[in-house]
Structure 1
Amino acid sequence: MRIRAAAVAAVLTVLAAAGCSGDSTPLARPAGPSAEAPAPAGPATAPDTSCRPRASLRPPATLPEPGKMPAGSYMRTIQDRGRLVLGTGQDLLLFSSRNPFTGRIEGFDVDMGRQIADAIFGDPDKIQIKVIPYDKRISSAHDGSVDLVANTLTANCARWKDVDFSTIYYDAAKRVLVSSTSKARGMGDLGGRKVCAARGSTSYDGIVSAASKPVPVARDTFGDCLVAFQQNEVDAISTDDAILAGLAAQDPFVEVVGEPLSQEPYAMAVSKEHPEFTRFVNAVLARNRANGTWKRTYERWLPDLGAAPKPPAAEYRD
């Protein structure tokens, strides 16, 4: 076993519900095989390329002043309610995790939501965080049970059919996590070896379709994958580098290796019922790219990933 049993138990407690970036099916997913056994390998679903997934709704030229949202807009509905309801996770270190000392859920994704609350109210604390499982991220935005979802959520064409997305606020890339003593330097070195990803994720699809023919293993969450890895049940984990960074921060005996396997552009999801709110969110993101807020947010949460890059450029579809 790579680390002590007590450490494994701690990870079970902290990460049991950790999410993934890429659930393959946006709204509904058939029940998968037992988490106790490797999922059968099969052909990966071909990605939907029918749209420009990075392109969102063009923002207005100016933002309304905080506390003065236009009558009849969804922003006014949120203002009158007195809080923005943000859907996110609580177990994804660096992006959205519960601080064990304060009990607050915090991270890069949470700050994205707080910045929207600040633009509506002039107060980033006027936010209600609703913890949602990763397989409810699309449905929670779709049915309006939250105003906004920010939870390492990849914008893709299949999901655009169910929700609207903001412009991209973070570019992740799929890579591989292995033991620091492993000779594997990427997926190409893992042929015949067990590689774990969350059930129903695009990360799992990537393992299935890998040319090196690793053995794909499904678990309910990436926290479960980490525990399986620490108990020597699997040889590696594959998912977005942002998620792997959070896992690696909790285990000194791992490293993230390999060239990017795919690009995963993160965006916030909004109900299609409120395009004016999506445009408002995009205006806030555009302002924050320009005034340095995005850079400061990156430096607060992600300094271990290196110097802050340029924020993802906005693309619009109208």
Structure 2
Amino acid sequence: MRGWGGVAGTAAAVALTAALLPGLAGDGLQDRTADDRAAAGGAVAAQPAKAGQEECESPEASLRPSASASGDGVERIVDRGYLIAGIDQNSYQWGYRNPLTGKLEGFDIDLARAIAGEILGDESKVVFRSIPTSERIPALQEKRVDVVVRTMTINCERIQEVAFSTEYFTGDQQVLAPADSDVTGFDESLDGKRVCTADGSTGQGALEEGSYGAEVMLVPNQLDCLVRLQLGEADAVVTDNALAAGQAAQDPSMKLFGTLGSAEPYGVAMNIDDEDLVRRVNKLLEDYRKDGRWKAAYEKWLADAMPGIDAPPAPTYKD
């Protein structure tokens, strides 16, 4: 599939298909549709920050890894016989449905399979549930999924609601717009522009902090923004540069403009009470970095769109 994103017409058609027909034929155990609530993409009311959030200094610090940790989180998965992973099926290179095979593929998909291998000894024992951005935290809190592997940024607000693994990739916010646009980045060029971002995303937070006069448009999934852009219903998109690079690869008529220069660590998210599962996932990530699997996944999925990354981010652990 490398190079497939270079054909703009095909990319636009695939983007429309992925956004408008999320319930394409599944992979048996490898893919089940989310429940009605997740599929509807309904926004969930923001929960107030908990006490202690103001002291948050290193949200990316996670629990130390353990190959033997066991408790409610791990036992739930083992007893069921398969891992339920919340993923995106619309983010090219990260988590997307290959239009030629109907299979789910990408950097995050490979990582989710590796987690199943760590817990169950078999990477095929995973059910993928496609969930919109705004449903990631509720899905974990209600245990509709065991993990969310979906380019999810670790930050001080989110660690009050869910637990995270150590960082497995570092992103930043970026603007995506047509190549002939007069948009130049996070500046006054966004004044009066219709700027699209996913509801519940860090892109939404960035626009709330400094919209530069933009008219903010919220959608359930980030790929919906690319479709809006292609249809002329939006002027620009704000999203993580990792996702923006994938969208630019899908449609070469689009171009990336500027970044905020603020590192956004991606982590695997889990229920806040599943400390045993966090430790097992961190053990997997420790091995994933050392044995070459992280590098192989980067070269396969991300190197063309995001070149020059020599190694995965180093983990940070709690004392």
Q: Which residue number corresponds to residue 201 of structure 2?
A: 201
CA 1:241–1:17: 2 relative to 1, 3 Å: farther
* Structure 2 contact 134–199 (Cα < 8 Å) conserved: no
CA 1:197–1:100: 2 relative to 1, 3 Å: same
CA 1:210–1:73: 2 relative to 1, 3 Å: closer
Q: Which residue number corresponds to residue 231 of structure 1?
A: 231
One-letter code of the match for 1:315?
T
Q: Which residue number corresponds to residue 268 of structure 1?
A: 268
* Structure 1 contact 29–200 (Cα < 8 Å) conserved: no
* Structure 1 contact 174–203 (Cα < 8 Å) conserved: yes
Within 5 Å, which residues of 2 pair with 1:148-227? Answer: 148-188=147-187, 189-210=189-210, 212-227=212-227
Partner SS, residue 87 of structure 1? strand
CA distance in 1, matches of 2:288, 2:165: 14
CA distance in 2, matches of 1:4, 1:309: 29
CA 1:130–1:211: 2 relative to 1, 3 Å: closer
Q: Which residue number corresponds to residue 50 of structure 1?
A: 55
- Give the superposition deviation at 1:76: 4.2
Partner SS, residue 157 of structure 2? helix
CA distance in 2, matches of 1:286, 1:7: 35
CA distance in 2, matches of 1:306, 1:147: 32
Within 5 Å, which residues of 2 pair with 1:5-44? Answer: 10-16=14-20, 28-29=44-45
Within 5 Å, which residues of 2 pair with 1:33-112? Answer: 49-51=54-56, 52-60=58-66, 63-64=67-68, 74-112=73-111
Within 5 Å, which residues of 2 pair with 1:122-141? Answer: 122-141=121-140
CA distance in 1, matches of 2:299, 2:242: 14
Runs of 5+ consecutive residues of structure 1 not aligned to the other structure? 19-26, 31-47
CA distance in 1, matches of 2:114, 2:277: 14
Partner SS, residue 258 of structure 1? strand
One-letter code of the match for 2:55?
S
CA distance in 1, matches of 2:317, 2:291: 20
Q: Deviations over 1:124-169 (max 9, x none)?
A: 1121112222221111112222111111111112221121111111
* Structure 1 contact 16–223 (Cα < 8 Å) conserved: no
2:146 is equivalent to residue 142 of structure 1: no
- Give the superposition deviation at 1:54: 0.5
| TM-score, scaled relative to structure 1 | 0.80
Q: Which residue number corresponds to residue 116 of structure 2?
A: 117
CA distance in 2, matches of 1:17, 1:57: 39
Q: RMSD of the TM alignment (CA)?
A: 2.7
Flag the structure with higher helix content.
2
Q: Which residue number corresponds to residue 49 of structure 2?
A: none
CA 1:213–1:113: 2 relative to 1, 3 Å: same
Q: Deviations over 1:239-279 (max 9, x none)?
A: 10111122212212111121335332111111122211101
* Structure 1 contact 196–238 (Cα < 8 Å) conserved: yes
* Structure 2 contact 134–201 (Cα < 8 Å) conserved: no
CA distance in 2, matches of 1:5, 1:113: 31
CA 1:55–1:82: 2 relative to 1, 3 Å: same
CA 1:81–1:12: 2 relative to 1, 3 Å: same
Partner SS, residue 172 of structure 2? strand
CA distance in 2, matches of 1:225, 1:257: 16
Q: Which residue number corresponds to residue 36 of structure 1?
A: none
| TM-score, scaled relative to structure 2 | 0.79
- Give the superposition deviation at 1:285: 0.6
Would you say how many aligned residue pairs link Structure 1 and Structure 2? Answer: 284
Partner SS, residue 285 of structure 1? helix
One-letter code of the match for 1:140?
A
CA distance in 2, matches of 1:257, 1:299: 24
One-letter code of the match for 1:256?
L
Runs of 5+ consecutive residues of structure 2 not aligned to the other structure? 1-6, 23-42, 47-52
Partner SS, residue 192 of structure 1? coil
